[in-house]
Amino acid sequence: MFEKLSERLQSVFDKLRKKGKLTEEDVMGALREVRLALLEADVHYKVAKEFLERVKERAVGQEVMRSLTPAQQVIKIVKEELVSLMSGDISLNLKGNPAILMLVGLQGSGKTTTAAKLALKFKREGYRPVLLPLDSRRPAASEQVEKLAEKIGVLCYKGSSSPFELFESVLNEARQKGFSPLIVDTAGTLHIERELMEELKEFKNRIRPNEVLLVVDSMTGQDALNVAQGFEEGVGITGIILTKLDGDARGGAALSIKAVTGKPIKLIGVGESIEALEPFYPDRIVSRILGMGDVLTLIEKTQKIIEEEEAKRLEKKLREDRFDFEDFREYLRMLRKMGDLDSLLKLIPGLPKVLKNGVKVDYTKIRRMEAIINSMTIEERRKPHIINASRKRRIAKGSGTTIQDVNQLLKQFEMVRKLIKEMKAMKGKRRFGGFQ
């Protein structure tokens, strides 16, 4: 996500930080590089131009030039303006009996899968969502929604009557049984056409939805902006769900779409799994782009998996420097529960650069490491320093691994302990979310 843009911007700011005191020429040179980075990331040229004008107005001034940390002031301004560029009301209007969410978009944008992701999100939040597939243009669209609904355990209605008749029938039943929200998956085509827009607009006027959410594929770049403009003008939308953002190394659509349409991004699809739908927080996204990490999202993701008491116990042992192999084993088990660990690691400040250099999470190795720890005695797990050559041979034999594997685990364990100590030493020294 935003990989190329992130690399370019971080490179620009690294150069600035090395200069110490800045001249106006230094700032202007950096802003020219920022402009090129935005354009290469597929940001709309008008959006890039207006953005740079706002940054320039704030960055080329006495406040920055006389600052003790001028480079950091420029970075702070860029961050604030990027956040402002994408900010909007990301909340969803769920008032009504039931609330009605109408999803629109082109075929291939991920609209049907997003409908199911939304339903699962609401179910987990305590709502009683209902899926209603009304895409009459795409063969087997209803069957796809039905299968997804069955998978996540939510109700799905389908029928042979006209879309509006089916909607009225489901609406009445939802009111009687207390279901809400009603998520309506509408028809889409391969490209914007007048007939579809008129059909969707008429349907919207008749069902009067709380939200009309445009589902758009972020990887289509500038086309995503054209699609968003087309649906805003033809149908009228209240917000945007950007899909496939995890695969969009450029990110231009996310940075431009609010400025182009005036409508906020409310949710983002960040993977193929049915759980991979997140609220769109501009400040967190910008922190990722600028290499500052996204600790809040990391905490939210891990809290869903790690029991609070277990997390507190581990944190206490880490703080008191009593981290042993039993704790390390629990830590590895937590990592396996987290699934897509690579994407989680990228949320940690500073780690994306390390991961870029070839560090990948190998889940087979994680299971092997667990097997080695399981082959240790309780005393060995609690006192790793007693593991000598003969103990290594016994541990390797018992875990079906080699002495080299055991040595590698011991080395990795020491690296983790060292990293923990370094993180403790650095605590409190960070400013602006990761930059010193």
Distance from C-alpha of 274 to C-alpha of 203, rounded to nearest angstrom: 28
pLDDT in tens, 107-122: 888 888 999 999 999 9
Residue 263 resides in a domain: yes
Answer positive or negative: Cα dihedral of 373, 379, 382, 386: negative
Beta pairing class for 265-269 and 239-243: parallel
Lowest mean pLDDT among 10-19, 95-104, 126-135, 210-219: 10-19
Q: What is the CATH number of the domain that holds 10?
A: 1.20.120.140
pLDDT in tens, 359-370: 455 667 778 888
pTM over 0.85: no
In this structure, the answer to whether residues 304 and 427 fall within a common structural domain is yes
Domain end point (choices 237, 266, 290): 290
Show the domain range for 164: 100-290
In this structure, the answer to whether residues 302 and 399 fall within a common structural domain is yes
3-class DSSP assignment, residue 6: helix
pLDDT in tens, 38-50: 888 888 889 999 9
In this structure, the answer to whether residues 302 and 286 fall within a common structural domain is no
In this structure, the answer to whether residues 42 and 111 fall within a common structural domain is no
Domains in the chain: how many in total?
3
In this structure, the answer to whether residues 313 and 271 fall within a common structural domain is no
Q: What is the CATH number of the domain that holds 163?
A: 3.40.50.300
In this structure, the answer to whether residues 163 and 264 fall within a common structural domain is yes
Residue 95 resides in a domain: no
Beta pairing class for 182-186 and 130-134: parallel
In this structure, the answer to whether residues 166 and 283 fall within a common structural domain is yes
| Contacts of residue 347, Cβ cutoff 8 Å, sequence gap at least 6 | 288, 293, 294, 295, 297, 298, 301
Answer yes or no: is pLDDT of 186 > 60.
yes
In this structure, the answer to whether residues 240 and 260 fall within a common structural domain is yes
Residue 348 resides in a domain: yes
**130-134, strands of its sheet edge to edge:** 155-156, 130-134, 182-186, 100-104, 211-217, 239-243, 265-269, 277-279
Mean pLDDT of 200-223: 90
In this structure, the answer to whether residues 216 and 311 fall within a common structural domain is no
Residue 112 resides in a domain: yes
Residues facing residue 201 across a β-bridge: none
Q: What is the CATH number of the domain that holds 381?
A: 1.10.260.30
Residue 94 resides in a domain: no
Distance from C-alpha of 121 to C-alpha of 216, rounded to nearest angstrom: 19
**Residue written as tokens 């809290």?**
303
